[in-house]
């Protein structure tokens, strides 16, 4: 580790102890989620429903892991698929896996979204499956696509109930390569007021974070990477960056 890297590491550790900074970040998360901030962005022309901080964390992971397959549940407008495809394209341009691709799963790929994704120049790195991410036949298709891949990264961003997120973790986390990650988005729901999602089944106690905690109890091969939480402070995936250590 050089001096600059050490400085960054020390600052992240010190920020993680800074109560004022953490409370300001938490306040920003509450008010920005209420104002639907995550819908404000696009990546290479497609709307992406993410916070820029998490996108930077994903860029760092994709660069350091150099995956040859990224599996994503939850496509929506396709922005996160295009984001992943673009990172794989950059990795390939820099000598990384040349045939790396992204596999997206969504229960409802709207025709206009499918059309726009298929028309995108990076579509050659993308494949999509329509169906519930926890349906056995869909899980089977994803497993088949994962066969023979060397470094797999998984991102879960579909239905945010405890039951669904836990079922996705059980189905897809085993595909994650050692040293790679299963990123579980929207764990932040645990920290938000229950009334924030009046028309949704999820809320505190019933969300991807509660699923992550239950999953980790029985899967010591995964650990939640607190370093990424401390680095970002502003994130929809606190405790959701799960690193496979064995």
Ligand X SMILES: C[S@@+](CC[C@H](N)C(=O)[O-])C[C@H]1O[C@@H](n2cnc3c(N)ncnc32)[C@H](O)[C@@H]1O
Q: Which residues bind ligand X (CB under 6 A)?
A: 48-50, 73-77, 79-80, 105-108, 132-133, 157-159
Residue spans of beta strands (DSSP E) within the chain: 41-43, 46-48, 69-73, 101-106, 126-130, 152-156, 181-184, 222-224, 241-244
Q: Based on CB atoms, which residue is closest to ligand X, 109 or 152?
A: 109
Closest separation between CB of residue 129 and ligand X, Å?
A: 9
Q: Based on CB atoms, which residue is closest to ligand X, 50 or 210?
A: 50
Distance between CA 228 and CA 214 in Å, rounded?
20
Closest separation between CB of residue 130 and ligand X, Å?
A: 9
Distance between CA 38 and CA 144 in Å, rounded?
33
Closest separation between CB of residue 132 and ligand X, Å?
A: 4
Contact between residue 232 and residue 28 where contact means Cβ atoms under 8 Å apart: no
Q: Based on CB atoms, which residue is closest to ligand X, 100 or 102?
A: 102
DSSP for 52-80, please give it: HHHHHHHHHHHHHH--SEEEEE--TTSHH
Structure tokens at 223: 């650990």
Closest separation between CB of residue 222 and ligand X, Å?
A: 21
Closest separation between CB of residue 219 and ligand X, Å?
A: 21
Q: Based on CB atoms, which residue is closest to ligand X, 2 or 36?
A: 36
Q: Based on CB atoms, which residue is closest to ligand X, 3 or 191?
A: 191
Report long-range pairs for 20-27 (Cβ below 8 Å, ≥24 apart): 21/233, 22/233, 25/233, 25/234, 26/191
Residue 169 CA neighbour count, 13 Å, CB half: 32
Closest separation between CB of residue 79 and ligand X, Å?
A: 4
Closest separation between CB of residue 46 and ligand X, Å?
A: 8
Q: Based on CB atoms, which residue is closest to ligand X, 25 or 135?
A: 135
Structure tokens at 242: 């799960």
Q: Based on CB atoms, which residue is closest to ligand X, 113 or 180?
A: 113
Q: Classify 49 as helix, strand or coil.
A: coil
């Amino acid at each position: 580790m050089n001096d600059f890297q050490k400085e960054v590491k020390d600052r992240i550790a010190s920020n993680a102890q800074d109560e004022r900074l953490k409370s300001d970040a938490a306040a920003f998360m509450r008010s920005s989620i209420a104002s639907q901030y995550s819908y404000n962005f696009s990546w290479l022309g497609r709307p992406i429903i993410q916070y820029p901080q998490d996108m930077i964390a994903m860029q760092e992971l994709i660069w350091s892991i150099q995956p040859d397959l990224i599996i994503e549940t939850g496509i929506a407008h396709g922005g996160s698929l295009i984001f992943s495809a673009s990172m794989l394209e950059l990795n390939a341009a820099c000598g990384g896996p040349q045939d790396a691709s992204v596999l997206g799963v969504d229960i409802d790929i709207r025709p206009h979204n499918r059309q726009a994704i298929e028309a995108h120049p990076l579509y050659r790195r993308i494949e999509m499956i329509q169906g519930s991410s926890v349906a056995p036949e869909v899980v089977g298709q994803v497993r088949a696509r994962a066969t023979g891949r060397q470094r797999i990264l998984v991102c879960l961003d579909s239905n945010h109930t405890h039951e669904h997120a836990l079922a996705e973790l059980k189905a897809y986390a085993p595909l994650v390569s050692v040293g790679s990650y299963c990123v579980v988005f929207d764990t932040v729901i645990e920290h938000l007021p229950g009334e924030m999602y009046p028309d949704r089944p999820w809320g505190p106690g019933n969300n991807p974070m509660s699923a992550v905690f239950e999953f980790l109890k029985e899967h010591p091969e995964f650990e939640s990477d607190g370093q990424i939480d401390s680095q970002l402070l502003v994130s929809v995936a606190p405790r959701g960056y799960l690193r496979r250590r064995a």
